[in-house]
């Protein structure tokens, strides 16, 4: 379901503004002065400390289109896999949050509407030990830059305070990114210290090109083939891309 970003008026708005400023200050302070390769991990630790009620979290930044993204940071392997599963399958709260430009919450991936809405994702999430997932878009001037994704190992929604904190942390992540290297941002709003996360995206591009050459298909079909192989093998698109590049997988031998 889509989330509600409204926090009320009057004193509540003032309190929210103060909390937003505090969270942004904490994130910027946590990463200021660090070498680029250490920034994602430090940012991850700060976000996790601000959201202790969830089992794990990740931040993904969008690739060349709304159906591709790379994980900038994740608190654990489950959070990484949950993020990659969604973009491998093309379904789940994260792609939906990007499409709607609004929070999307799945409080019960075992049964009910969340399972019917995303049957493939729900199955894969259950295999990863995840029963609830929540996604908040990272708002940029031209649309979502990516998503902040949270998960729990037991079903259940976020309460009002948790929703508000998640929304404010997502805002602060964008502010921290912008404040750290405003001058070096490219047209997509991705700053230079995100370069480490670009490797996964480049691997998928390279593997897609190799599949195009192997099978004589276009780029879109090659990407679909890569994703289909990943799903069939219970792997992520990045894992399959690396296998193609390493020549340990050849789509012609399917």
Question: pLDDT value at position 190?
Answer: 43
The answer to whether 215 and 222 are in contact (CB under 8 A) is yes
Phi, psi of 199 (to 5 degrees): -60, -40
Compute CA distances 208 → 70, 121, 142, 192, 244, whole Å: 15, 23, 27, 25, 9
- Candidates 45, 53, 47, 24; CA nearest to 161 is 53
Tell me the C-alpha distance between 254 and 250, whole Å. 7
Residues 6+ apart with CB under 8 A from 88: 227, 230, 231, 235, 236, 237
Instruction: Give mean pLDDT, residues 210-231.
Output: 81
Where residue 185 falls (left for φ over 0; alpha for ψ -120 to 50; beta otherwise) is beta
Confidence of residue 218 (pLDDT cuts 50, 70, 90): confident
Question: pLDDT value at position 193?
Answer: 47
Q: What are the boundaries of each domain within the chain?
A: 11-190, 197-253
Please give the mean pLDDT across all residues of the chain: 82
- Candidates 55, 111, 62, 118; CA nearest to 89 is 118
* Fold match between domain 11-190 and domain 197-253: no
Question: pLDDT value at position 5?
Answer: 42
Percent with pLDDT over 90 in the chain: 39
Three-state DSSP class for residue 2 = strand
Asked if CATH classification 3.30.450.40 holds for the domain at 11-190, the reply, yes or no, is yes
Q: Does the structure show a pLDDT above 50 at 185? A: no
Confidence of residue 254 (pLDDT cuts 50, 70, 90): low
Tell me the C-alpha distance between 48 and 52, whole Å. 6
Instruction: Give mean pLDDT, residues 123-140.
Output: 93
Q: Which CATH number does the domain 197-253 belong to among 1.10.10, 3.10.450, 1.20.1070, 1.20.120?
A: 1.10.10
- Candidates 233, 245, 250; CA nearest to 85 is 233
Task: Encode pLDDT of 141-153 as tens digits.
Answer: 677 788 999 999 9
Q: Does the structure show a pLDDT above 80 at 247? A: yes
Tell me the C-alpha distance between 202 and 221, whole Å. 18
- The model carries a pTM of 0.72
């Amino acid at each position: 379901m889509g989330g509600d970003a409204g926090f009320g008026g009057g004193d509540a708005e003032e309190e929210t503004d103060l909390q937003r400023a505090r969270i942004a200050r904490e994130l910027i302070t946590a990463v200021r002065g660090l070498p680029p390769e250490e920034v994602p991990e430090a940012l991850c630790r700060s976000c996790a400390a601000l959201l202790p009620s969830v089992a794990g979290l990740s931040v993904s930044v969008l690739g060349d289109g709304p159906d591709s993204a790379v994980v900038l940071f994740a608190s654990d392997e489950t959070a990484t896999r949950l993020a990659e599963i969604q973009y491998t399958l093309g379904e789940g709260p994260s792609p939906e949050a990007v499409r709607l430009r609004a929070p999307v919450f799945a409080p019960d991936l075992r049964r009910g509407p969340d399972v019917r809405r995303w049957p493939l994702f729900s199955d894969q999430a259950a295999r990863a030990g995840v029963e609830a997932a929540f996604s908040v878009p990272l708002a940029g001037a031209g649309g979502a830059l990516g998503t902040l994704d949270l998960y729990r190992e037991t079903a259940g929604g976020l309460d009002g305070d948790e929703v508000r904190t998640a929304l404010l942390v997502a805002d602060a992540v964008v502010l921290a990114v912008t404040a750290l290297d405003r001058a070096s941002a490219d047209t997509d709003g991705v700053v230079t210290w995100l370069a480490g996360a670009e490797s996964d995206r480049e691997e998928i591009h390279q593997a897609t090109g190799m599949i195009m050459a192997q099978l004589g298909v276009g780029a879109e079909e090659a990407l679909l083939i890569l994703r289909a192989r990943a799903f069939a093998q219970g792997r992520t698109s990045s894992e399959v891309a690396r296998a193609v590049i390493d020549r340990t997988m050849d789509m012609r031998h399917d």
